[in-house]
Amino acid sequence: MTDRQTEIAAALQVVPPFNERSQLLAEIERRKAFIKQCLRNAGLKTLVLGISGGVDSTTAGRLAQLCVEELRAETGDATYRFIAVRLPHGVQHDEADAQMAIDFIRADELQTVNIEASVRGLAAQTASLETLTPERRDFVLGNVKARIRMVAQFTIANACNGLVIGTDHAAEAVMGFFTKFGDGACDLTPLAGLVKGQVRAIARELGAPEKLALKVPTADLEELNPGKPDEDAHGVSYAEIDAFLHGQKVSDAAYQRIVRTYDATRHKRELPFAP
């Protein structure tokens, strides 16, 4: 492990590899305890999370549902609940996966907010978009989608006196692979510190369908390139990112790509600049 690997893993509070199933089970219980304590600390009883059909939201969603069920059993208070939110932009190309995730999570409540009209309405009123190339405009509007989705989740949470769950984890955080004040905005991040392989392992342990646990990750924000794999954007595989974060040797090209991207996206992991 190099000094940079040690520094970055410590900054992201990376969880060591699961060498035994007991470690995996203990980590699941630790995450659930964290979620429940966040609700207690806030004096609230509702959790809100957007469900995309990817492994991250599937895993976080099932953990959230288990937590509110346990809180109801532990306290006798039936008002604890989890609201799963579908946030499609028009018709989602992998809607079947999203529905599979919803069926697995078995949330107390499901709400759907189609963000297409909001995104198009904002775009129509923004003159700065008119001079952009189609590719650049598509990228900018991809970030708008992420931010509108988070606005919708916070709107629901505000209306229902709840907390918004985020799905960021170490393998995304190191690459700055989230929209600032979009999917990077939330009240709690129960997957923080986990690498991608660990999120998949937790999903499997919780009983998620293999198709979802092993699904190729995609932010799916670009209309000109729907379903674009995260790894194409990273320029490095999740296996290499996971290995880097766990202090293992990776190729020089992968090492340089990860370190360079981590340094360039530092602002996304910090509070706004202040004098």
- The CATH code for residues 3-265 is 3.40.50.620
Task: Identify the pLDDT of residue 199.
Answer: 98
Task: Identify the pLDDT of residue 176.
Answer: 96
- 32, 42 contact by CB (below 8 A): no
Task: Identify the pLDDT of residue 133.
Answer: 97
Asked if pLDDT for residue 1 goes beyond 90, the answer is: no
pLDDT (tens digit, 9 = 90+) per residue, 215-254? 998 888 888 888 889 898 899 999 999 999 999 999 999 9
- Pairing verdict, β 109-112 and 81-86: parallel
* CA–CA dist 258, 261 (Å, integer): 5
Binding residues: 50-57, 147, 167, 172, 180, 187, 196, 218, 267-268
* CA–CA dist 40, 67 (Å, integer): 12
Task: Identify the pLDDT of residue 202.
Answer: 98
* CA–CA dist 242, 129 (Å, integer): 37
HSE-up (13 A, CA, CB side) for residue 256: 3
Percent of the chain with pLDDT over 90: 91
For residue 83, give the 3-state DSSP assignment. strand
What single DSSP character describes residue 54?
S
- 53, 100 contact by CB (below 8 A): yes
pLDDT (tens digit, 9 = 90+) per residue, 64-108? 999 999 999 999 999 999 999 999 999 988 899 999 999 999 999
pLDDT band at 41 (very low <50, low <70, confident <90, very high): very high
Binding residues for Mg(2+): 56, 172
Binding residues for ATP: 50-57, 167, 196, 218
Task: Identify the pLDDT of residue 175.
Answer: 97
Binding residues for deamido-NAD(+): 147, 180, 187, 267-268
Task: Identify the pLDDT of residue 183.
Answer: 94
pTM of the model: 0.95
**Domain limits of the chain?**
3-265
Catalytic one of 56, 231, 240, 242: 56
Catalytic one of 168, 172, 230, 242: 172
Asked if pLDDT for residue 271 goes beyond 90, the answer is: no
Task: Identify the pLDDT of residue 86.
Answer: 98
Task: Identify the pLDDT of residue 120.
Answer: 97
Residue 172 bears catalytic tag:
yes
* CA–CA dist 14, 30 (Å, integer): 14
pLDDT (tens digit, 9 = 90+) per residue, 143-201? 999 999 999 999 999 999 999 999 999 999 999 999 999 999 999 999 999 999 999 99
Residue 138 bears catalytic tag:
no
Q: Average the pLDDT over 114-143 and give the result.
A: 97
